[in-house]
Amino acid sequence: MGDSLTIFIQKSAFHYKNGGQHAANHKTNATTEAPLSNIHSTKDSKLTFVNSKILHLFPIGVILLVRKAILIDYGHMTKQPTRATHLYPEGWTDYRLVDSGQGLKLEQFGPYRFIRPEPQALWAKFLPDSEWTCADGVFLPGSTEDRGKWQLSDRLPSSWQMVFENIKFTALPTPFRHLGFFPEQSANWQWTAEKIKTFIKKTSRAPKLLNLFAYSGVASLHAAAAGAEVTHLDASKKAVALAFDNRSLSGLEKAPIRFITDDVLRFVAREKRRGNRYEGILLDPPKWGRGPKGEVWKIKENLPELLNGCRALLSNEPLLFIATLYAIRTSTTAVHAAIADVLDGLGGEIRSGELALREDRANGRGIGQALYVRWSI
């Protein structure tokens, strides 16, 4: 094979971040996969050769250590993750994680800085106190971890605009600690948009996408901008109204987005009876919540029913399924297995790991924010 390096690939899921798993390139946080065009089967069905053209995907340290063969994992539908993958947001100009430490994180949202609790920041702060004391808002937790109140500076407006990849939306401090959106979710927005564009190119039609617990609609707007027909559902009238306003901010008034205020389980059951189907489903359930008519949502009790309902809503040409979970005491392994079990028989591949943020500096520390599981055909 000349100067090429022979790499043996085992058939199970794998990812590589630029710079490698242990030698991260902190200038880029992209997740890279070996292109299938460079993979050639051998007579042994258990082995696959990878042409040397893809060697740039692997960290130099790994290549130097292994001169003859590298055993890696290659993706297919598996009920247990072989390795959790951290996804870091990239492409932001209006958001950055400035610093973290001592149970706090310092973040930049547009022109304003905020301090929020971060229990995972078990280390010391990197920047001097002078960088922290100029914050425009500090969140003070209340009786529960996720609720509290803000101490805000006089210069801070009640809301302001943020931009990510030409999608404009409103940011504002909420009593739930966040600011109207979740920046770590941008990795999912980008991935979904690419899947949608590929589907349209292949089928010459727009996929239908269902976004459940859709909140302020940034994911819905990205999907619609990529060409999908989107159904946006949330139990909160205020959240749906905010998503509707965000559509106008982004100039997507004519985009095919259906805004619905309803209980998720009730809506999914009704869609199943009506025979409505979707190529993609996004799922971001809270730990606890109430529907518009007082329905109670408890993730540990209701998630299995919802997953099965979502499976029934996937079309005969399914494209993607994403679930992200915040503030729940479970593992990526457990959520991965639960969703793989529900989607069994569809083929495709399933990935799981953490959506994370990284401090905006060389060798910045990363902080996991949510568990995610992605399936795609």
Query: Tens digit of pLDDT for each residue in 127-177?
Result: 999 999 999 999 999 877 678 999 999 999 999 999 999 999 999 999 999
Look at the chain and count its residues.
377
CB 26 within 8 A of CB 364: yes
Q: Write down the pLDDT at residue 328.
A: 76
- Phi-psi group of 200: left, alpha or beta (phi > 0 → left; psi -120 to 50 → alpha; rest → beta): alpha
Looking at the predicted structure, is the pLDDT value of residue 1 above 90?
A: no
Q: Write down the pLDDT at residue 293.
A: 86
Q: Which amino acid is at 12?
A: S
Indicate the pTM of the whole model.
Answer: 0.78
Q: Write down the pLDDT at residue 186.
A: 97
Looking at the predicted structure, is the pLDDT value of residue 352 above 60?
A: yes
Chain mean pLDDT for the chain: 82
Q: What is the mean pLDDT of residues 229-251?
A: 97
Q: Indicate where the chain has its CATH 3.40.50.150 domain(s).
A: 181-376
Q: Indicate where the chain has its CATH 2.60.40.1180 domain(s).
A: 95-171
Q: What is the mean pLDDT of residues 109-118?
A: 97
Looking at the predicted structure, is the pLDDT value of residue 24 above 70?
A: no
| CATH number listed for the domain at residues 181-376 | 3.40.50.150
Looking at the predicted structure, is the pLDDT value of residue 54 above 60?
A: no
Neighbour count for residue 23 (Cβ, 10 Å) = 12
Q: Write down the pLDDT at residue 270.
A: 97
Q: Write down the pLDDT at residue 77.
A: 59
Q: Which amino acid is at 208?
A: K
Q: Write down the pLDDT at residue 83.
A: 56
Q: What does the block give as tokens for 322?
A: 């994403």
Q: What is the four-CA torsion angle of 16, 22, 27, 29, rounded to 10 degrees? A: 40
Q: What is the pairing mode between strands 31-32 and 16-17?
A: antiparallel
| Closest by CA position to 218, among listed 196, 263, 249 | 249
Q: What is the mean pLDDT of residues 64-87?
A: 49
Q: Write down the pLDDT at residue 78.
A: 61
Q: Write down the pLDDT at residue 363.
A: 94
Looking at the predicted structure, is the pLDDT value of residue 48 above 60?
A: no
**In percent, how much of the chain has pLDDT > 90?**
69
Instruction: Find the helix or strand (DSSP H, E) in which 273 lies.
Output: helix 264-274
Higher pLDDT, 300 or 38: 300
Looking at the predicted structure, is the pLDDT value of residue 75 above 80?
A: no
Q: Write down the pLDDT at residue 292.
A: 86
- 95-171 architecture in CATH? Sandwich (2.60)
Q: Give the 3-state secondary structure of residue 223.
A: helix
Rounded Cα distance between 125 and 97, Å, is 12
CB 91 within 8 A of CB 79: no
